[in-house]
Amino acid sequence: MQTRYADYFPHYIKSGIDAGLLDKRLVQFDLTKLAGAFAADRDFKFGYLGLQTLYDRYFLHIDERRIELPQIFFMRVAMGLAINEIDREDRAIEFYSVLSNFDFMSSTPTLFNSGTVHSQLSSCYLSTVSDDLDGIYQAIKENALLQKYAGGIGNDWTPVRALGARIKGTNGKSQGVIPFLKVANDTAVAVNQGGKRKGAVCAYLETWHLDIEEFLDLRKNTGDDRRRTHDMNTAHWIPDLFMQRVSENAEWTLFSPSDVPDLHDKFGKAFATSYCEYERRADLGEIKQFKRVSALQLWRKMLSMLFETGHPWITFKDACNIRSPQQHVGVVHSSNLCTEITLNTSATEIAVCNLGSVNLMAHLTEETCTERGRSNGKLALDQAKLKATIMTAMRMLDNVIDINFYAVGSASNSNFRHRPVGLGIMGFQDCLHALRIPYASIEAVEFADRTMETVCYHAYSASSRLSEERGSYSSFKGSLWDQGILPLDTLNLLSEARGGQVDVDRGSTLDWDVLRTRIQQYGMRNSNCVAIAPTATIANIVGVSASIEPDYQNLYVKSKLSGEFTVVNEALVSELKALDLWDEVMVADIKYYDGSLAKIDRIPAGLKALYATAFEVDPAWLVEAAARRQKWIDQAQSLNLYFAVPSGKKLHDIYMLAWQRGLKTTYYLRSLGATSTEKSTGSGGELNAVAAFLPSIDQPKQCLIDDPGCEACQ
């Protein structure tokens, strides 16, 4: 294969260009030099699911005949990302190396389209909808254009006036935001993404909006179907004042945005001051259209609908804005489809984010004993390798901005002005297994803290070095970066705004003062650098656990667009084999207990704790680990929460904890289905028969609930 790769490569480039698939500029590379960089043995890094996913979804084809092989696929992506580099062959080889070694993986849109004639490489788009018909339908049109090329959308609908609000032009009354959300929902279904899947949209609404109660019902299967959005995701954009009112069991006032126009753009203390003034004016009769509700009762309904329908998700406006490096030039009005992007939007700016993730598992190495220069048998993060990978990854992500195709002008303007990227991580659970740390432990929380500190330190450092080489992003002046305020420092800003309600460990291990000085001297190439996306699909390619997720089960069937795949925890199998416990009876037991070890007596208690599945880990541990990560991250993280036996009190406690710990966003609430089928085993306990015998519990999907093949984020 080493010889065949080199021989086939120039023919592939020619046939791809002739078929109208590849960018004609690829032929200008020194193909002989690139062919010499192929490492055919890296094909053996793949598992079956990873290869099948690439074959079905990613490899370019002519009339269904695939023209790519794994290493050629990675080289094509690398060439596309290096196409504007001065030393493009060397850079392409550098990019190829981190991709093919599974050190870093670009997001799905980048893998799909890099090096092709249509370079739509970005993952996420965020926009604000204006309160007029032109603005509303312009936003829906922009959604359609962005969805056409496989972008996930987050829309901020808060400015649109509420049901019953006066329309000056006609002296009539508004139908509110809900009918327009229905139109946006149907547009997402109508405009499928490149013929591959339906559009992916999330609507955000602030908690003081007068239509919020009807917004809660959008995903219900009962009621007037004209006021339901069965295909659209929804999310709350919650100000701190509301959470404080919930804590105090106080009243909350709902307004139409047309009566309180400045609330949309205010956050923190300024928001609280304006909001209380509007409440006073409402009491005096100066504002006619408003509604008083119990904050606690509204909160309970929000959590009830989240449990019942999976929506709307819980995200926090003030944490996103007070900690935003870009607060000097705008406001964060929403997150994206997967709740990890927190960028400014306005009537003139559609925020764009370009994603990719570091594979933490590829950066574990055996520690060296300093006295003898030999391995001491313990694993730790390879700091030098991680730094090198992130330097390369940030360059790749920055290149995406210049190469990317923009379907909408306001997206292009925004991306070139601020140049945000989102470097994330995956394989967190795999690292815990390798280090023998249970997810539900303070050691896991501390590992989350240390790893994210290292990743963020090198990401910000890499962006500053790119700035030294290429120049700072144009809106750098006046940013928190420019002021010497780094993400860790913004925890104090949030705590001050809340009156001290951010209980997070502030400890650090790296020299942030040196980095702070460097950034103030050389600037930053990117307004935002880090965001942890779900990584559902690219984690399948690499063969590691998705994002920051605990393992769903130790044995289950994963349904993808490529088919159904039996997934088994290989680390667990290795340990059971070493203990001479891996036999047909053990396979049957693990099947019977739905991939859980808790009730299998033969398994030692230590292994049960180490390989506890997502629903066996108290969600408080996920929040604590996320809080430690969030203190370093300039954007947010896609955080699913798992509840084996949900209760109103448990939901309240966990989401209140997430707010108190300063989290910016949360994602899906996962709970176990109540149904179960008859337990059985195959005649020989064979693994490939597991699909027929697993209980009919809904497997949590990492992105779209309705689409197991979602590649909107990663």
What is the secondary structure of 202-229 as a DSSP string?
EEEEETTBTTHHHHHTTT-SSS-GGG--
Instruction: State the Cα angle at 425 between 438 and 698, rounded to 5°.
Output: 65
For 611, counting Cβ atoms within 10 Å of its Cβ (0-12 exposed, 13-18 middle, 19+ buried), the class is buried
Annotation says 340 is catalytic? yes
Closest CA to 656 of 623, 678, 614, 683: 623
Residues in the chain: 714
Closest CA to 536 of 545, 526, 546: 546
Query: For residue 432, which phi and psi values (nearest 5 degrees)?
Result: -60, -40
Residue 542's SS3 state is helix
Residue 399 pLDDT more than 90? yes
Q: How far apart are CA 446 and CA 508, in angstroms?
A: 11
- Per-residue pLDDT band for 189 (boundaries 50, 70, 90) equals confident
* C-alpha distance across the termini of the chain, in Å: 29
CA distances in angstroms from 542 to 69, 91, 93, 552, listed in the order given: 15, 22, 19, 17
Residue 708 pLDDT more than 90? no
- Per-residue pLDDT band for 682 (boundaries 50, 70, 90) equals very low
Question: In sequence order, what are the beta bridge partners of 425?
Answer: 358
Residue 589: other Cβ atoms inside 10 A: 19
The tens digit of pLDDT for each residue in 490-510 reads 999 999 999 887 889 999 999
For 648, counting Cβ atoms within 10 Å of its Cβ (0-12 exposed, 13-18 middle, 19+ buried), the class is exposed
Annotation says 584 is catalytic? no
Catalytic hit among 94, 340, 453, 624 = 340
- Per-residue pLDDT band for 524 (boundaries 50, 70, 90) equals very high
Closest CA to 535 of 688, 361, 405, 307: 361
Catalytic hit among 320, 338, 431, 456 = 338
Mean pLDDT score across all residues of the chain: 89
| Residue pair 401/421 in contact by the 8 Å Cβ criterion | yes
Residue 152's SS3 state is strand
Domain chopping of the chain, boundaries: 102-714
Closest CA to 26 of 94, 72, 58: 72
Antiparallel, parallel or unpaired: β 124-128 and 152-156:
parallel
pTM: 0.91
Q: Quick one: what percent of the chain has pLDDT higher than 90?
A: 71
pLDDT at site 197: 57
Q: How far apart are CA 194 and CA 405, in angstroms?
A: 14
Query: Which residue's entry shows tokens 């001051």?
Result: 273
Q: In this structure, what token pair is assigned to residue 37? A: 């960089």
Q: Which CATH class is domain 102-714?
A: alpha beta
* Sequence letter at residue 243: M
Asked which of 13-17, 221-225, 272-276, 436-440 is least confident by mean pLDDT, the reply is 221-225
Q: How far apart are CA 679 and CA 684, in angstroms?
A: 15
pLDDT at site 699: 37
Higher pLDDT, 685 or 624: 624
- Per-residue pLDDT band for 561 (boundaries 50, 70, 90) equals low
Q: How far apart are CA 500 and CA 496, in angstroms?
A: 6
* Sequence letter at residue 250: A
Instruction: State the Cα angle at 260 between 665 and 186, rounded to 5°.
Output: 55
Residue 309 pLDDT more than 90? no
pLDDT at site 689: 36
* Sequence letter at residue 254: L
- The H or E element containing residue 525 is none
* Sequence letter at residue 90: D
Residue 145: other Cβ atoms inside 10 A: 15
pLDDT at site 673: 58
| Residue pair 138/100 in contact by the 8 Å Cβ criterion | no
Q: How far apart are CA 614 and CA 554, in angstroms?
A: 10
* Pure H helices in 265-338: 268-283, 295-309, 317-322
Residue 317: other Cβ atoms inside 10 A: 29
Closest CA to 233 of 190, 198, 212, 204: 204
Q: How far apart are CA 122 and CA 124, in angstroms?
A: 6
Asked which of 427-436, 473-482, 575-584, 669-678 is least confident by mean pLDDT, the reply is 669-678
Average pLDDT over residues 421-434: 96
pLDDT at site 711: 46
Q: How far apart are CA 237 and CA 342, in angstroms?
A: 12
- 63 Cβ neighbours under 8 A, 6+ residues apart: none
Residue 677 pLDDT more than 50? no
Catalytic hit among 233, 336, 354, 528 = 336
Dihedral angle of Cα 92, 396, 339, 409, to the nearest 10 degrees: -100
Higher pLDDT, 395 or 309: 395
pLDDT at site 372: 54
* Sequence letter at residue 615: F
| Residue pair 437/447 in contact by the 8 Å Cβ criterion | yes
Annotation says 338 is catalytic? yes
Closest CA to 485 of 662, 634, 661: 634
Average pLDDT over residues 229-257: 94
Q: How far apart are CA 481 and CA 483, in angstroms?
A: 5
The tens digit of pLDDT for each residue in 315-363 reads 999 999 999 999 999 999 999 999 999 999 998 999 998 999 999 999 9
Higher pLDDT, 663 or 647: 663
Residue 380 pLDDT more than 80? yes
Residue 373 pLDDT more than 60? no
* Rg (alpha carbons) of the chain, rounded to whole number: 25
- The H or E element containing residue 650 is helix 648-660
pLDDT at site 191: 83
pLDDT at site 374: 55
